[in-house]
Structure 1
Amino acid sequence: MEKLVLYIEVNQLRRRGFKIAAISKKLGISRNTVYKYLEMSFDEATDWVSTLNTRSKKLDPYRDIILTWLKEHPDLSSAQIEDWLKEKNPAIAVGSSTLRSYVSDLRDTYHIPKVIRIRDHEAVEELPMGIQVQVDWGEMKVKNTENKEVKLYFISFVLSHSRYKYVEWQDRPFTTRDTIRCHENAFQYFGGMPEEMVYDQDHLITVSENAGDIILTGDFQAYKQERGFRIYLCRKSDPQSKGKIENVVKFIKGNFAKSRTFFNLESWNEKCLAWLERTGNQNVHNTTKKRPAEVHALEKQHLRPVSSLLSFESNLNTSITRTVHKDNVIKYKSNRYSLPLGTFRPKGDNTVYIEVKENELIIKATPQGDILARHRLCVGKGELIKNRNHGRDRSKGIEAYKETVIRQLSNPDQAKQFIQEISYRYPRYMRDQLQIIQHTINQYRHVIDVALAQCVKEHLWSANDLRDVAQHLHRLTENEPFPPPSFQEMKKTSPAVKATAQSRDLATYVEIMGGPK
């Protein structure tokens, strides 16, 4: 019958002019279900609902064992039942939503309500004036003037005795430095500082609970020492231990931010402060039955005074820290912004500081240091915003390579003309062209100048053409017969041989010539 009632409600809302998405949201069903109900007639819907009661279900074979578990353990969740079924029957294939629906039907049919374990809460006495402030963060999506969703983040403070509140909003997630700055603003708003601050185990202020020896982040540890307040850290998954600020967060979302149109961050914060004065701190509190503003006038006298200037105030500016990635970029609002080559250090500190001024993003090495880069702010997402001078200057290596090649050729004018023409025709392959020319010079040095002159004369503007011409000239020189060397060349190339002539008697020579004996 429930499904038939749902069918009637869907059709009634449709006749009243509700759109599909509105019906889906109002009744808590999917749009596909809405379409299915709208396509059926009343008779078809009635027949369909009647078949649901008679047809077998996938989990019917396990009905008895599920009932046994539910009767023995009424607090069992459907997730636990699903796990137990899979433990006993590993081959079972059933969806979690199907199992939840089946278990819910069994509970209704056999009147087995789910037992909910409720935590016992004890009322605590009110803290004395000026002792404690509770702090928490929140976030919420609101509509802007263009009816688009904008995600906003806020930090809230409440004085535990008077329930006097302070709120500050941002259009980006909070950093530790943002948190410190907001603490200072809250103390100025409260007119002093309490003895104790209560927090969640938030990564902005704590690194580890360490069995009671709380390890704070570096910046917040320095701030705590400077201001000298105590810190109470709530246990994990125990929001009730700071219930006052939990209620404040709900109050801010439901009373101030809900259905309010976002124009810009400055006006939003101004309206929030006005709301605090008008409603947040002015309405009678449901527990204390007093106005927080009136009680705060008395509690203010018990707060510790704070100076308006910290000793490390220079570190508490509006700079936001970012980490430099190995490709020398930082990420900001879903975009990447370049830094000069070499900014990233593999074993060093890669933290930089950014400031946003109007439509410009400024990146610094230190909060007060030299500017590393300036970029226009990008309104899109997933973009790389890169300055031309932040990349590797590849032209320096190419220019040096060109000069090296030109110096190896006898005619520098022809060499420059040839290299210039190649640069114009093959800009993307200039390094490859120079490598071919260098190889040709090394291999055919004896004919390279003639080959270059021939290429310039015939307008052959390619390193491959130069190589082919040089190869051709080399073959020609190999096939030409060499003339016999001259005496002077032989004298220059042949080493001198030192020899001593043998001495003979004169009679020996007369005998050889056939003279008288």
Structure 2
Amino acid sequence: HPDLSGAQVLDWLGEKLNVSSVTEGTVRNYVNEIRVAYHIPKMTSERNYSTVPDLPMGQQLQVDFGQIRVPTTNGTFKRLYFIGFVLAHSRYKYVEWLDRPFRASDLIRMHENAFRFYGGMSTEIVYDQDRLLAVSENAGDLIMTVEFTKYQQTRKFKVYLCRKSDPESKGKIEQVVKYVKNNFAKNRTFDNLLDWQESCLSWLKRTGNYKVHHNTKKRPVEVFALEKPHLQPVSGTYIFEDIFDSSITRTINKDNVIRFDGNRYSVPRGTYRKGAPNIAYVETDTEYLYIRLQQNGQLLAKHKIAKGSGTVISDPSHRQREHSKRDQLIEQIKGILTDKEAANWLIEILSNQYPRHLIDQLKVVQSVILKYPAFIDEALNEMRRLRLTSANDFRDIAISLEIQGRKKHIETGTLNEKYKALVAPERKEDIYLSVLQGGANR
């Protein structure tokens, strides 16, 4: 990376090795010495700017877009897109990334995220003439896109669109875009968007908003603490559906959490499904985050919004396991068997004998109960008497009892059918007496 700056090397030392004992000047001098020793030139470009007076606290927020191609973990390159916000007075920054071009809905959602990040909004917001915002300048009469017009009318902030020949009016945000590209993104390896965004927020905290600004000679985070009370309050009950169709969505991760504003919030165990879209819809008010699986659907989870970042907010009830297949089978079997003591014995003996295949054993028991309901109690008693320990034994006994019962029915039925037409003749009692006396009465 021949284009690395000393400032970026210092940030990487802090991020990857937690180095904090060296100054920026020391790193810059060392990098310059390496360039001289190994003949590594650094490409530079110049652009002339004029000084713009500092604005009052809370008056102006500047917004602009950027994009950069970065290497990925699979050896290819990927183009990433970002939007940058900076408060003109304190130089306090916020950045959000996407791995695709922005849509109007993304722009509005990221404004909301930025307002939450700042804890308020400025009186006016300065933009470049981006197609997501403006259709045309119309000789001074601004014509904005329908989506952004509705949003701006709801939030009631003033919009100032830079003229194409007036880059100095938003010089601060252009410096931020350049700073994000060169100090954070350049030569950084991309794996996934969530980790990339988390790394960017950490970079803002560690470097972007903490490092002393070269013009103000102050740390943006310290000046922001003074500027924050001057920001306009933002209503926390903003309904996105009033502005555009798609709500804020978040991906449900494998560990059943979603990421929101740098923190992770739990959803009930089992919400994540392999092969499913795993998308959650989120809304917020002044205190709480609401999570649903469908727009305007049943509430899935509710969390108090955490302050700061890097926190896992978990509802203890979300960690409880749902009734497993095993538990369901056990409940069904116990509910059907009339002898509860024998039922408990059966479950216990199968659990001890077949811990790894208990569900398979329980399924055999369930099948026997459904096929041979008239013989299950007798089969269970016989199984206990013989001290057998397998559901297959229980099944074989039930089958045997069923076969025996069928044979008895067949034998009884055949005997009656064979002789039912024959009627025994009625005889007088003296006939039997005559037989017993040797026929003397004949």
Higher relative contact order (CA 8 A, sep 6+): 2
TM-score (norm 2): 0.45
Q: Could you say which structure has the larger radius of gyration?
A: 1
